Amino acid sequence: MADFLLEIGTEEIPAGMVSRLADELRSRVKAGLKDAGATPSAERLIAAPRRIGFLLVGLPERQADREESVVGPNLSIAKDAKGNWTKAAEGFARKQGVDLDQLHEVESPKGPCAGFTRKVKGKSTSQLLAEIVPAAVDALYLPKAMRWGTGEQLFVRPVRWVVALLGGQIVPLEIKGVASGRVSRGHRVHGASSIEIHSPDEYFDKLRSNYVIACSEEREKKIERELTALAEEVKGAWDVHLRDQDDGVVASGLLETLVFTCEYPTVFLGKIPEVFASLPEPIFATCLKEHQKSFAVYPVGNAGEIALKEDDSPAVLPNFLSVMDGPADPKGLIKRGNENVTVSRLSDAKFFYDHDVKVPLERRLEELKGIVYHPKLGTYYDKALRLEALAKKLAPFFNEDPNLAGEAARLCKADLASLLVQEKEFTSLQGIAGGLYAKAQEKDPAVSRAISEHYGEPMPYHDRISRLRFLSIVVALADKLDALIQFFKIGLVPTGSKNPFGLRRAASEVVRLLSAPGYASDFSAFRFSLGSFLREEAPACADSLGSFLLDRARYQWEGEPAGASGGSFTYDEVNAILVQGLDDLLDMHHRLEALHKVRNESPEDFDHLSVAHKRAKNLTKGQPRFEMSEAKFAPASDKEGAGERLLHQALLAAENETAPLLAPGRRDYAAFLRRLAAIRPQVDQFFDDVLVMCDPDGKDPAKTALQQNRLALLQRLVALFEKVADLSEIVPARGSNGVTG
């Protein structure tokens, strides 16, 4: 057994591509080796800014010998009527270099053929790798690539060296014009420019001694460990945010970027003037992250809680944590340089904020008249007025004050005219900045919160009088719905890969906001029909927009975890809900949960009901509505009469017992579906014993009346089924025949 080391050395690869490329390369090479019968016992990934590759442990030294069948001409032409080999068989044997008596009958996709079995000597693993590795590199997906030299080679970045060792031997191969060897390189500044690797097992230690930590997980742990230690030195914690009183902390995504921009990361603690700690935390932290790739430091109490300012926002310390690529900064030059640049960035942020906060948002609103939203849809001022009107209409559905909703929606885009956002320094603070200004200008707290959250992921929250507030959701919905309605009206509709103005994301946000199960404190009292709302607000595009939103719901719900029910929603369950059209998305999601839960409880009953529903639906399709009368049933002594009477009695009982379950104050869909499953025996017997279309040509008046009465019975059955879901969309499990009649 031998270990295989592959390291492809390059110029610096963009941080967001390093891990994916290394992982894809490893997967492709492993797949090729597996096909050849060589599987490693362990593995380790190499993913750093200037190198990608892997270590595979425990590969066999060569491929096992094997036998393979060689298929020749079809037996019908390879043998004559007497069973002797023909000229065609002789030609095949001669071409393959085998004796005629070695031929025998072999099975193939084209039927019985002439053929023979030959032994194939296995290749050495070195030979296999020399074929598999370059092919795997060439097959890598490169969203962005570059050429170098004479322009013949194409890769994510120019390749400078290749290490390929199987045990202590070089695997002869070539990657992007560079031949393999055993010489690697250390850190560009602090390491050796030439490091000879004698065997794979010494690679990671030799690189580490030359200030390259080739394993990304090891680099990440080093950064986290040092961040925590340095933050604790000033009695703080790094990069944590209080989203809500009960939400705890959320770590920053900056860490991943730093892991893949440094080969030997070392954290240092910087100091800044106290005055900058007075900046609102979102501005302070965003300035450090986006401009300096640094972390804010938050003061913590004895119990580990984050200290808060008087306005309940997180406090910050006059420090920052940054990461340099190297082992140390003995003269403090890197630290001082970072401190100087950080102070300059924070000075700009403070100047913008101090200026902006003095300008009333209403005045900023007027300035939106000069910022075009879309040539056909006017300015952001026009959009603000539309949002105000839309939010006022939405507010009552969520038990919110229309005036507060209108104010928040009208002002939510005002910060686009502020220096902080308009100067393009802090564009990620859109909405958040407006919320900070609204708070400083003593707007209603619910208004400032709604402004700050309308771009992101707003959630209901309890205000100080313990009332569940949906104002943030109302404003966010108004923003997304306005974009969808307006762009659909002017014909800018997503098609194929085209997604103008992020409308797919906007639609997905609408679905998420209106269908998240935890959004309503009292589900039975919460009701908002999106389909009806669109028909009132945008009748010209309600159908196309409704279909678009249903597609996004399908995309989000298929495979979504089914919560307490266990498992995930399946495509047919989602279809059973969505086929009924766009309505109250929260209600639709609850019906989906109930369907999944009860179906898992009684899978066989649901299979039978699905087939019965589909059959009943097909029989009644295109038929006029008929009135059902008990007097028109066949005699009870008759087999068919007994079957239809039993179904009628079961249907009446089910209708009476399920009506209270679907009342607006209850909506117990799981109990409804369980009760529906109980009528399966009567449904099965009806389809076994009763011929519904007993007079298809309409020639016998008595039979016509009987047929119409039976259709009326099925129409009532279908109507009952579809009060929660269209069960005809449920696909029975394989092997289930459903009803037998």
Task: Kindly report, residue by residue over 603-635, the tens digit of the pLDDT.
Answer: 888 888 888 889 888 998 988 999 988 888 888
The continuous run of DSSP H or E covering 16 comes out as helix 15-35
Contact indicator for 176, 162 with CB cutoff of 8 Å: no
| Of residues 165, 166, 147, 167, the one with CA closest to residue 156 | 147
Query: What is the DSSP annotation of 198-212?
Result: SSGGGHHHHHHTTT-
Average pLDDT, stretch 693-702? 85
Position 566 confidence tier, pLDDT thresholds 50, 70, 90: confident
| Of residues 454, 347, 367, 371, the one with CA closest to residue 407 | 454
- Looking at residue 23, its pLDDT comes to 96
Position 248 confidence tier, pLDDT thresholds 50, 70, 90: very low
Tell me: pLDDT of 351 over 50.
yes
Contact indicator for 704, 583 with CB cutoff of 8 Å: no
Tell me: pLDDT of 517 over 70.
no
Considering all CA atoms of the chain, what is the largest pairwise distance in Å, rounded to the nearest integer?
A: 106
Q: 361-481 adopts what CATH topology?
A: Hypothetical protein af1432 (1.10.3210)
Residues, the chain, total? 741
- Looking at residue 242, its pLDDT comes to 33
- Looking at residue 465, its pLDDT comes to 66
Lowest model confidence (mean pLDDT) among 22-31, 444-453, 695-704? 695-704
Average pLDDT, stretch 174-193? 95
Lowest model confidence (mean pLDDT) among 125-129, 458-462, 482-486? 458-462
Q: CA-CA distance, 721 to 614, in Å (whole number)?
A: 11
* pLDDT over 70 percentage in the chain: 95
Q: At what angle do helices 585-601 and 571-578 cross, to 10 degrees?
A: 130
Domain boundaries, the chain: 2-62+124-208, 67-120, 217-349, 361-481, 602-729
Position 526 confidence tier, pLDDT thresholds 50, 70, 90: low
- Looking at residue 519, its pLDDT comes to 61
Tell me: pLDDT of 259 over 80.
yes
Q: Is 460 left (phi over 0), alpha (psi -120 to 50) or beta?
A: beta
Most confident option among 214-228, 451-465, 523-537: 214-228
- Looking at residue 246, its pLDDT comes to 33
Tell me: pLDDT of 524 over 70.
no
List all residues 6 or more positions away from 497 whose beta carbon is below 8 Å from its beta carbon: none
The residue behind tokens 């009870």 is: 636
- Looking at residue 520, its pLDDT comes to 58
- Looking at residue 342, its pLDDT comes to 96
468 or 295: which leads in pLDDT: 295
* pLDDT over 90 percentage in the chain: 65
Average pLDDT, stretch 115-122? 84
Tell me: pLDDT of 245 over 80.
no
Amino acid residing at 107: E
Contact indicator for 481, 510 with CB cutoff of 8 Å: yes
94 or 516: which leads in pLDDT: 94
Q: CA-CA distance, 55 to 35, in Å (whole number)?
A: 19
Average pLDDT, stretch 257-285? 94
Position 199 confidence tier, pLDDT thresholds 50, 70, 90: very high
**C-alpha dihedral over 123, 124, 127, 132, to 10 degrees?**
80
Both structure tokens of 138? 């060439």
The residue behind tokens 């409880």 is: 601
pLDDT tens-digit profile of 40-66? Answer: 999 999 999 999 999 999 998 887 777
Lowest model confidence (mean pLDDT) among 171-180, 482-491, 724-733? 724-733
Lowest model confidence (mean pLDDT) among 221-230, 244-253, 354-363, 720-729? 244-253
Query: What is the DSSP annotation of 142-194?
Result: -SS-EEETTTTEEESS-EEEEEEEETTEE---EETTEE-BSEE---TTTS-S-
Q: At what angle do helices 333-356 and 432-440 cross, to 10 degrees?
A: 60
Contact indicator for 246, 295 with CB cutoff of 8 Å: no
Average pLDDT, stretch 570-586? 93
Position 253 confidence tier, pLDDT thresholds 50, 70, 90: confident
Query: What is the DSSP annotation of 270-282?
Result: EE--GGGGGS-HH
